[in-house]
Amino acid sequence: MSTPTERPGGDSVRLIFTYEQGTVRLVSQHRVDIAVTGFDAAQHERPGDFVEVRDAAGSSLTRVPIHSGLDTSMEVFPEDPRGQIVRVEAPELKRVFTVVVPARDAAESVAVVRIGAVGAVGAVDGADGADGADGADGAGAVDSATATAAGLVASTGTADIPAVTELASFALDRPSGPSS
């Protein structure tokens, strides 16, 4: 039976990033002794911006959503209180955001990733796509028997193929402490 090991500072890491004109930088990382909730250990992918914890082989262990920080727009409030609040693009502004991720023994690195849907996969009718009923319009739709990064899709419906874009990746600092 294995015994849990105590890590100095905890099993989570607080990461502080900056984001400016499309460039993500890791400013600091600190081990913290807090439980991380709201992370995605499931293998399904949903659209959004995430910090992905990876093992030494680069495989994803968990994803924690980035709730704000990579958005290039901002709310502008009117001087007149009866005026309308508007959202404007401001890509030149520097943003700072913090994410706390679980970082157990296998965690070696983190990556900031953006996940978005590219196109539909799956045919309802016409398995060969010849009748045009499968929605294959050249914009990412393929027959349901096609193997994709998302796996095989059943022939009774469609699914989105998520596009995962890595914006940046960084090594995690190894915890310091007594060696055994």
The DSSP call for residue 92 is T
Position 158 scores a pLDDT of 58
DSSP string for 97-131: EEEEEE--TT--EEEEEEEEEEEEE--SS-TTSTT
* Ramachandran class of 108: left when φ > 0, alpha when ψ lies in -120 to 50, beta otherwise: alpha
Conformational region of residue 171, where left means phi above 0, alpha means psi within -120 to 50, and beta covers everything else: beta
Confidence of residue 177 (pLDDT cuts 50, 70, 90): low
CA dihedral (37, 42, 44, 48) in degrees, to 10, reads 20
Domain positions in the chain? 12-115+164-171
Higher pLDDT, 143 or 91: 91
- Average pLDDT of the residues in 147-176: 67
Give the model's pLDDT for residue 142. 36
Q: What is the pTM of this model?
A: 0.63
**To the nearest 10°, the Cα dihedral for 2, 8, 9, 10?**
0
pLDDT score recorded for residue 91? 75
Q: What are 73-91's pLDDT values in tens digits?
A: 888 999 999 999 999 888 7
- Judged on CB neighbours under 10 Å (0-12, 13-18, 19+), 163 is middle
CA distance 151 to 160: 11
What gap in Å lies between CA 16 and CA 101, rounded to an integer? 11
Number of H helices, E strands in the chain: 0, 9
Which token pair is 44?
């399904």
The count of other CB atoms within 10 Å of the CB of residue 139 is 9
Measure the CA–CA gap between 109 and 112, rounded to whole angstroms.
Answer: 10
Token pair for 42: 């499931």
| The token pair that represents 154 in the structure block | 């059943």
Is the pLDDT at 134 greater than 70? The verdict is no
